[in-house]
Amino acid sequence: MTQVLIEVSEVDLNEEGFFEDPQQWTEDMVPELARREGIEELTDDHWKVIRFVRSKYTETGSGPTVRALGKTSGVSIKELYQLFPKGPAKVAAKIAGIPKPRGCI
Amino acid sequence: MEDKIQKVSIIISKGSLEGIYPGLIMANGARAEGIEANLFFTFFGLDAIHAKRHEHIKLATVGNPGLHFATWAGGLPGVSAMMTHYMERKMGDLDIPSIPEFIEMIYDTGAGLFACQASVDLFGLEKNDFVPQVQDIITVGEFYDRATGGQIIFT
């Protein structure tokens, strides 16, 4: 007999699918959150961006825009759009459990 | 979710700094939202993708009441260059990319960049006058084909 513990947690998402409370987020939610965004397989680069976005949020209180990501995450803009075709800053923020980044550029 | 904008075709028809940036910002912003975006450059807007000219885009200081100084002053030698320099510095402080860098960045987001055939003919230009990010020179009919199913924004 094997004992399995399956954890289910309830999180609050806003209308657009962003976390209402970033504190509810844990890293093990990432694969499921990514799947909800149409990303079936998480590569190392996905993880790199998601962790980067999360740490920027922890540091500054807001998520980086695509331009900021391209400049500072170590992943180029071209690659960012390949990883997150529906908008890197926005989708990575959803998966990283942080609010939608604001900024026009 | 169905009523969200899925696709935009943005036309840039002016060759001044203030004529070019809004279209670039809208195209880049569309891609950031996951919206498909194509940019079409026509008439003086072609300067934005002209390899030799796009580093020298100037702010219009004549006939621009938004600057709030006398029209005659805007025409004095060096005023446009000075105002352009001032504006570029302010934009740099806000981390707004220069036009050449912005064009490259928008291309990297996966947006399409196209030049208008009629304007290219009018100015006697050809494909290699443009930056390599320009995908094609197309006719108005081809533009409408590409714009199918989306919103068209003229700037």
pLDDT for residue A91:
96
Residues A12-32: what's their mean pLDDT? 92
Share of chain A above pLDDT 70, in %: 98
Q: How far apart are CA B73 and CA B61, in angstroms?
A: 8
Residue A105 lies in a domain: no
Residue A37 lies in a domain: yes
Mutate to test the interface with A, among B28, B103, B104 (most CBs of A within 10 A): B28
Interface of A with B in 55-94 (CB under 8 A): 65-68, 70, 76-78, 81, 85-91
The shortest C-alpha distance from B32 to chain A (Å) reads: 5
For B103-147, how does the pLDDT look when each residue is reduced to its tens digit (9 = 90+)? Answer: 999 999 999 999 999 999 999 999 999 999 999 999 999 999 999
pLDDT for residue A9:
80
Residue A26 lies in a domain: yes
Q: Report yes or no: B139 and B64 within 8 Å, Cβ to Cβ.
A: no
Instruction: Select from A68, A81, A90 the Cβ nearest to the Cβ of B109.
Output: A81
Three-state DSSP string of chain B: CCCCCCEEEEEECCCCHHHHHHHHHHHHHHHHCCCEEEEEECHHHHHHHECCCCCCCCCCCCCCHHHCCCHHHHCCCCHHHHHHHHHHHHHHHCCCCCHHHHHHHHHHCCCEEEEEHHHHHHCCCCHHHECCCCCEEECHHHHHHHHCCCEEEEC
Q: Report yes or no: B140 and B118 within 8 Å, Cβ to Cβ.
A: yes
Set out the domains of chain B in order of their start, with CATH numbers.
7-59+97-154 (3.40.1260.10)
Hey, what amino acid is at A7? E
Residue A1 lies in a domain: no
pLDDT for residue B1:
52
pLDDT for residue B71:
87
Q: Does the beta carbon of B97 lie under 8 angstroms from any beta carbon of chain A?
A: yes
Question: Mean pLDDT of all residues in chain A?
Answer: 92
Give me the residue label for tokens 């996966």: B110
Tell me which residue range forms the domain holding A84.
Answer: 22-95
Partners of B91 in beta bridges = none
Residue A11 lies in a domain: no
pLDDT for residue B2:
62
A42: CATH: 1.10.10
For A40-88, how does the pLDDT look when each residue is reduced to its tens digit (9 = 90+)? Answer: 999 999 999 999 999 999 999 999 999 999 999 999 999 999 999 999 9
Residues A8-29: what's their mean pLDDT? 90
pLDDT class of A2 with cuts at 50, 70, 90: confident
Total number of domains in chain A: 1
pLDDT for residue B119:
97
pLDDT for residue B122:
96
pLDDT for residue B135:
96
* Predicted TM-score (pTM) of this structure: 0.91
- Residues of chain B with pLDDT below 50 are none
Active site residue A69: no
Residue A15 lies in a domain: no
Task: Give the angle B57-B62-B68 at the CA atoms, nearest 5°.
Answer: 110
Phi/psi at B36 (nearest 5 deg)? -65, 135
